[in-house]
A = this chain, B = another copy of it.
Amino acid sequence: MLGAMLYAPGDVRVEERADPTIERATDAVIRLAATCVCGTDLWSYRGIQAVDGPTPIGHEYVGVVEEVGSDVRDIKPGQFVVGSFFASDNTCEICRSGYQTSCPHREPVGALGAQAQRLRVPLADGTLVATPEPPPADLVPSLLAASDVLGTGWFGAVAAQAGPGRTVAVVGDGAVGLLGVLAAKQLGADRIIAMSRHASRQKLAIEYGATDIVTERGDDGVAMVKELTDGLGAHSVIEAVGTHESMMQAIRATRPGGHVGYVGVAHGVELSGTELFFSHVHLHGGPAPVRRFLPEMIDLIVTRTIDPGRVFDLTLPLDEAAEGYRAMDERRAIKTLLRP
């Protein structure tokens, strides 16, 4: 089969790889309907995260189950399934509390390489959720979004306690930030401030439910959020970038007693305990437990209540993955969908 390999920063190649097979009784093998490039993939593509020789890449996936191991009970061949970027058993105490990405038995799907034609998914019953029926083709991008980027924005909004009566600010206008706007809207937030300086992203943010746009960044952006909130700051701030600057922007834009939901994978973030102490904010985040939200997200997608797939503004065949990475790296595309 064909699969993408990251050889070195800036060097993605699609090449022939061995077809995956059932290795453990809890595995499934799926034939991918779609996969995509994640902002997280860019950390290693840009060399900010070390790249250690050629490695399979990609962790967002939807597709049709081809084969399951002998211990798989719920997932069946022929089903259309949405996956999560960490495999998890979904039965342990941590999973049952909604933190499947910290499951003691978790396995990173990225190491198996979902930017490919086929994928072995460990712990299939815990990791995959089947759609009620095979979806029409136009819903596939939205279902693919659910497997990470929507789930991550959703977790950011939940961690920030977005909801009725609350003003939500979103730091970051990548796909996660934009879908954080969508999630905040679904959760009933009164007002949603998108922080973005790109016209096309502002436009999508507004279509997803943003009521205000702030183009300033850093402490200037914080001052604008305060100006929009009686000098107090937002009740809820979603951090969807992962740099030190964006994290401080999020904490400082939050009112005392408010909630920061941070889902940008932290790179170079160092928090001063003293500033955090006197900020009085609630801080929660981490790798989004997408599995927690998959049933609800899938339902909203198949009933056409939400359309998260619109974050894909570039679609390429899998063998042009390298161009998909370049377009995102250069911010020509918000997010690239790959057709295996």
Contacts and interface: CB of A to CB of B under 8 A. Distances in A.
A151 to B, nearest CB: 15
Given A102-B257, A231-B104, A273 B284 contact: no
Contacts of A97: 257
A232 B99 CA distance: 12
A98 B282 contact: no
A276 B283 CA distance: 10
Contacts of A273: 242, 244, 247, 266-271
7 contacts: A93-B230, A93-B232, A265-B277, A266-B272, A266-B277, A280-B286, A282-B282
B286 A277 contact: yes
A285 interface: yes
Contacts of A278: 286-287
Contacts of A247: 273
Given A257-B94, A273-B266, A273-B270, A283 B280 contact: no
Contacts of A230: 93
Contacts of A283: 276, 282-284
A269 B279 contact: no
A277 B271 contact: no
Contacts of A262: 277
Interface residues on A, range: 35 or more
A147 interface: no
A204 to B, nearest CB: 26
A262 B276 CA distance: 10
A239 to B, nearest CB: 10
Contact of A257 (B99, B242, B256, B271): B99
A88 to B, nearest CB: 11
A142 interface: no
Contacts of A256: 94, 99, 102, 286
A119 B94 CA distance: 50
B94 A232 contact: yes
Given A104-B231, A269-B272, A278-B286, 11 more contacts: A102-B280, A244-B273, A256-B286, A266-B274, A266-B276, A267-B274, A268-B273, A269-B273, A270-B270, A271-B273, A281-B284
Contacts of A274: 266-267, 269
